[in-house]
Amino acid sequence: MNLLEPRVAQLFTAIGCQLAAEEEDLSGLMLVVAERLERPGVPVAAAIGTVAGKTAELLQFCVNSEHRLVGIGRQVLMHWCAEAARRGAMRAVASYPLQADSLLANSLLANSVASEATTSLISAAEVLQGCGFTPVGRSMLRELLVYSGE
């Protein structure tokens, strides 16, 4: 079974991310995709990970190069965390280095006017910290708000 729609898989592979094409148990897989309103079906950003018990793991995150620095990356990551909480996770973990470390940094700078030269110096860890993650060893951890279902 293919995990991702072809266009979403293409978004990840365009930045050099290698994702598993098959998975035996899909029950914990979590994918958040952003599309442009005027072009439904064409993904511009995506976050993929898993939820197991009380922990969600962010496996990869990317934003199309034409849509960076406008806040869409932060929105996708925040929706991913909210969905993880809705599924019962109390914490989100991102182990690094992620495959597209510098691209991740560029993609998450919400509403930033920083130049490309500046953003390329920002690590994925720094960007995740800006989204509420804190360093714990070689990982980043974020406590999630408890979802009440109401």
Q: Is domain 6-19+27-94 annotated with CATH 3.20.20.140?
A: no
Contact predicate 107/116, CB 8 Å: no
What pLDDT score does 144 carry? 94
Question: What span, in angstroms and rounded, lies between the C-alpha atoms of 11 and 33?
Answer: 10
What pLDDT score does 150 carry? 54
Average pLDDT score over the chain: 71
* Domain edges within the chain: 6-19+27-94
pLDDT tens profile 51-106: 999 999 998 887 777 877 777 878 888 899 999 999 999 999 987 655 444 444 44
Half-sphere exposure of residue 113: CA atoms within 13 angstroms, side-chain side: 0
